[in-house]
Amino acid sequence: MIEPMPREIINWSILEEIIYMDEDDPDFSKRLASQFVVQADTTFAEISEELKTNKNLEELEKLGHFLKGSAAALGLQRIAWACERIQNLSRKVEKTFPTKEELLSTLPEGTQIFDIDMKIYDDLNNGTPPTTDGDELYLFLIKRALAQAYLEFQLARNELSVYYHDYLY
Amino acid sequence: MSFNHNNLELGLPTDLGMNHPLSQSIDDNNNNDGSLPHFVSQPEMAMHQGMHQSPYNSVPAPPPPIANQTGKKKTAGNNTGTGKKNTSARKQANNNLSESGAASATPTKPPSNEFVRKLFGILESNLYPDIVRWTDSGDSFVVLDTGKFTTQILPNHFKHSNFASFVRQLNKYDFHKIKKKPNEEHRSVTGELSWEFKHPHFKIHDEASLDLIKRKLSNSKKLPQPNNAAIAGSTLNGMRMNALSPGGTPIVNNNTMMSQMNNGSRTGRNGLQGGHSATRHEIVNAGLNQLGITKEQFLSHTVSKETYTTLRKRVDTLEKQLEVSKNEIFIGKVENQKLNSKYNTVVESLITFKAVNENLINNFNILCTTLSQNGMKLPAGLYEQTTINSGDDKNIQENTGALSKNLSVPLLTGQPDDLANQDQNKMPTSNVLANTSNLLNNQMDGLVSTPLMKETRKDIQNTVLKSGFHVLLVEDDTISIQLCSKFLRKYGCTVQVVTDGLSAISILEKTRFDLVLMDIVMPNLDGATATSIIRNFDNQTPIIAMTGNIDDQDLITYLQHGMNDILAKPFTRDDLHTMLVRYLRNREPLSEQQRVQTQSPQQPPLAPQQPQPQPQQITHNGPPGGHTNTQSPMDHTQLNQMQTMTSEPSQNNSQNGSINQSPVNLVHDPNQGSGNLGQLNIGDNIGVPVDNSSDTLLANPNFLNDEHIDKKPHLG
């Protein structure tokens, strides 16, 4: 049974603790957030590359785990959730992934998704699942989880950018 | 390396960054509560990469935990242009709104033309003949110097200094600007910059006719999106153009038309509430040019349906949220009550358990006494510990007293008031029950032995760690490293970081640390394996696993590898502090010990680190314990082996006959399990520590841990 997707994009009680550290180290939290953005960009690219070329599940598990850790540390819980799916699908301890409709319905009311993000999301979600039970199925589902993670990443980045009044690269 | 969307096998148009609908964002911002001060277009980079789009201004604001800052700290240079434009657009929209607020009240009042009368008064008094005066014919007036008019007369008499709005006002009362004809003598008299206005009923010395000058009414037709800033703005501009442009305005020089208009206005006003009147339709059908202005004016003075709907929606949303919150509170209460009843059940069984246990202890004591009386030699420390145990009964009783005094504090925190009150009545029971059930849960999960028990938040917060503890952080993720070391330093620790298991081993071979925080999944060597290797030469240093894997089987594996405890990721500052307190509370920092050690070399170098807390306390109070090591010049490995050997018998004792263990130590001093958890067969020990600690549990306010109730025990 897959644990349910958390609703809020950012778990503010976690992030607030980090923001609290800004008191004696100004911009500490923002620095971390920016680092995360860079790290996430890199990791997404690596996962995507892995899916295209080597298709090594072990490697994918590591990447998913890695990003999950940093996302969770910052309270970016929906990203963390999606990364955990990548991790678990790679370990083959999960064999399903919720539909995108189900996942989008968990977003807080009024969440705005930009066209470009939606397009990427839709494109990555394209295709029909392989009928075989081999690695192909897991790779297919991982790609969908990656789509979710990337969408969540954009949403989190938007929310963080609003918070910091600065666009995070 | 940046995330190129091509990697995702996408063919995206290159201008993807651009397709963000600007108008939409304006709309959003108008509808929002205004907490988003900036309109920022796509950063340039977004256009290059096609991915970094998302102008964050249109995202709903999060609940900002820190005071809402309206000013943006930094703005990318290329953003400011668009930002300004949008802001001014919005300002216009706001102007519209505020004006409409004032104007919408007008029809409800008796028809008033104070403005016209004021103007009449100024003209009659002829106070400013150089600025504004009647024309010679007396059926129109002329503003000779718009500059002075704007700076002197408007502020004094009309409380603003906006000539355009003066003109607009005139326009509302159906005044019209007289188009200048080059041939006319006006030109020489009044000059190029003069503005002449006329109204059929506005004549010199004719105060009675002023009553006939009324505000125009407008058609109630609406543009599709009157709230839209752009449209509203253009409406406004259009209106100004109409009023100001010398040639473009339809000048009504036909008196019949005018009066028809006025008639229409009057009837229209009367019929406004009811909807369209026949008269208005006539006007519409008449196709007067004037009508365009009328309509627009009306629009600019009305709260649009759109605005109303938006506000309505917001109210609805807020109501919904309130409802949801109420439900949540209710559910919370119900669950709390359920938990309370569970505690009651558990405490009953615990009390029974305790009685049995006391009985056993008594029997054991009798047995010990009898044995020693009969000349049997008891294992060292066994009998002694038993007496200590009975001595602790006093403490227990004292603690119980203290417990009931302190009870209200932890209870009242974090619970709804009514529940707290309710609980206060049966406080001693329910608290003890709560603690008990936590403990039992832990034990039953088979995951947790006593060192893992959580202390209360309050208790932990009150515990101030000595500063100067040297902590090794083994972690490969830079963000976690920064975060964790920040927290650690906040608690006065010094931090050293390595990023994989192999480095952890090699640094621990050279340096000693007070505590090790170890990630599990790492490159080169995972944390669990690294720990099991480290345990070959260092059995003392507490090693805490930090992991996001909370699978039970994994956790047992970690413990079996010699890790002392688990800090579930992501952890809060308090979680970390809890862990530090648990393992460092009764210790001196190693650095401090080394200082003392150099002063008095007779001191056992590792004594404070020994896994047996009991002898350690004895050492403090009286003669040194049995395994005090006086051979300090040994190297670490030898020393550790020595240590292990000396401590093992008592360790075994404590496991097999754990009744002898001091409950206080079991709870308070996690050192007991240090380095030995890996050897423990956890399953076998379920229950044994329970009876040990039951007394402590009942006596120890530390177990009032309401936080515990909600979380998975420790590891969740």
Helices B305-373 & B382-406 angle (0-180, nearest 10) = 150
Return the biggest CA–CA distance within chain B.
141
CA atoms B687, B689, B691, B694: torsion sign: negative
Q: Nearest C-alpha of chain A: how many angstroms from B553? A: 14
Q: What is the CA radius of gyration of chain B?
A: 42
Rounded CA-CA distance B369/B377 in Å is 11
Q: What is the pLDDT of residue B591?
A: 75
Closest CA relative to residue B549, chosen from A138, A42, A35, A83: A83
Looking up tokens 């890996």 gives B678
How many CA atoms lie within 13 Å of B663's alpha carbon, on the beta-carbon side?
26
Is the bond preceding B570 in cis, omega lying within 30 degrees of 0? yes
HEC string of B528-574 equals HHHHHHHCCCCCCCCEEEEECCCCHHHHHHHHHCCCCEEEECCCCHH
Q: How many CB atoms lie within 10 A of CB B317?
A: 12
Query: For residue A73, what are its two tokens?
Result: 């540390």
B155 interfacial to chain A (CB closer than 8 Å):
no
Q: Sign of the CA dihedral B258, B261, B267, B268?
A: negative
pLDDT score, position B298: 58
- How many Å lie between the alpha carbon of A133 and the closest alpha carbon of chain B? 23
Q: Which residue has the tokens 């807080």?
A: A108
Residues 7-46, chain B, touching A (beta carbon < 8 A): 7-10, 12, 16-17, 19-20, 28, 36, 38, 40, 43, 45
Q: Determine, for residues A159 and B62 on separate chains, whether the beta-carbon distance falls below 8 Å.
A: yes
Interface of B with A in 557-576 (CB under 8 A): 569-570, 572-573
Q: What sign for the dihedral angle of Cα B43, B45, B49, B52?
A: negative
Residue appearing with tokens 């950063």: B43
At residue B516, the 3 state secondary structure works out as: strand
Could you give the CA distance from residue B466 to residue B514 in angstroms, rounded to a whole number? 12
Q: In chain B, which segments carry CATH 3.40.50.2300?
A: 466-616+630-683
Cα(B655)–Cα(B645) distance, integer angstroms? 16
Interface of B with A in 480-509 (CB under 8 A): 480, 482-483, 486-487, 490
Q: Which of B307, B170, B286 is nearest to B239 (CA)?
A: B170
Answer whether A117 touches B (CB < 8 Å): yes
> What span, in angstroms and rounded, lies between the C-alpha atoms of B481 and A70?
10
Angle, to 10 degrees, between the axis of helix B501-510 and the axis of helix B527-534? 20
Task: Judge: A69–B1 Cβ closer than 8 Å, yes or no.
Answer: no
Residue range(s) of every CATH 1.10.10.10 domain in chain B = 121-303
Q: CATH assignment of B466-616+630-683, given 3.40.470.10, 3.40.120.10, 3.40.50.2300, 3.20.20.70? A: 3.40.50.2300
Q: What is the pLDDT of residue B540?
A: 87
As a whole number of Å, the end-to-end CA separation of chain B is 35
Structure tokens at B448: 């947790």
Closest chain A residue to the Cα of B321, Cα to Cα: A109
B50, A19: Cβ pair inside 8 Å? no
Mutating which of A13, A47, A165, A166 best tests the B interface, going by the most B Cβ atoms within 10 A? Answer: A165
Q: Which residues of B touch A41 (CB under 8 A)?
A: 1-3
- Indicate the length of chain B as a whole number: 716
Q: Could you read off the pLDDT of B500-549 as tens digits, one per residue?
A: 999 999 999 998 999 999 998 888 888 989 999 999 998 889 999 988 77
Residues of A with CB below 8 A from B519's CB? 69
C-alpha Rg value of chain A to the nearest Å: 16
Taking residues A27-53, report their average pLDDT.
92
How far, in Å, CA of B331 to CA of B325, rounded? Answer: 10
Cα of B666 vs its chain's centroid, Å: 38
Structure tokens, B453: 């028990």
The three-class DSSP label of residue A74 is coil
Pairing of strands B140-143, B132-134: antiparallel
Beta strands B470-474; B494-498: pairing state: parallel
Q: A78 and chain B: CB distance < 8 Å anywhere?
A: no
C-alpha closest to that of A142 among A62, A72, A73, A71: A62
Q: Is B222 on the interface with A (CB under 8 A)?
A: no
The backbone torsions φ and ψ at residue B494, rounded to the nearest 5 degrees and listed phi first, read -100, 145
Q: What is the pLDDT of residue A56?
A: 92
Residues in Cβ contact with B494 at an 8 Å cutoff, skipping those fewer than 6 apart: B468, B469, B470, B471
Alpha-carbon torsion B543, B546, B552, B553, what sign? negative
Determine how many CB atoms are found less than 10 A away from the CB of residue B388. Answer: 18
Q: Which CATH number fits domain B121-303: 1.10.10.10, 3.40.50.2000, 1.20.910.10, 3.40.50.720?
A: 1.10.10.10
Q: How does B32-50 read in b/e, with b if 16+ C-beta sit within 10 Å?
A: beeebebbbbbbebbbebb
In this structure, are residues B654 and B663 in contact, taking their beta carbons and an 8 Å threshold?
A: no
Cβ contact B632:B605 at 8 Å? yes
Closest residue to B1, CB basis, from A28, A45, A112: A45
Residue type, B590: L
Phi-psi region of B179 (alpha: psi -120 to 50; beta: other; left: phi over 0): beta
Determine the residue of chain B that is closest to A114 in CA distance: B54
pLDDT for B606 equals: 42
Q: State the DSSP code for B141.
A: E
Q: What is the mean pLDDT of each run of 10 residues along chain B (716 residues)?
A: 43 37 38 37 39 41 41 39 41 42 42 80 86 87 85 83 84 81 54 79 85 70 40 41 40 43 43 44 48 56 80 93 91 88 87 90 86 74 48 44 41 41 42 43 41 48 77 91 90 91 92 91 88 90 85 82 88 87 83 64 42 36 37 40 39 38 36 38 37 39 40 38
Residue B334: exposed, middle, or buried by beta-carbon count in 10 A (0-12, 13-18, 19+)? exposed
Distance from first CA to last CA of chain A, Å, rounded? 35
- How far is residue B410's CA from residue B417's CA, in Å, rounded to a whole number? 13
Task: Give chain A's domains with CATH numbers.
Answer: 12-164 (1.20.120.160)
At B517, is the secondary structure helix, strand, or coil? strand
Residue B6 burial (CB count, 10 A): 11
The C-alpha atoms of residue B417 and residue B429 are separated, in whole angstroms, by: 19
What residues contact B621, with CB distance under 8 A and at least 6 apart? none
Q: Hey, are the CB atoms on A72 and B16 less than 8 Å from each other? A: no
- Name B209's Cβ contacts closer than 8 Å, sequence gap at least 6: B201, B202, B203
Which long-range contacts link B280-287 to residues 24+ away (Cβ below 8 Å)? B280/B219, B283/B219, B284/B219, B286/B260
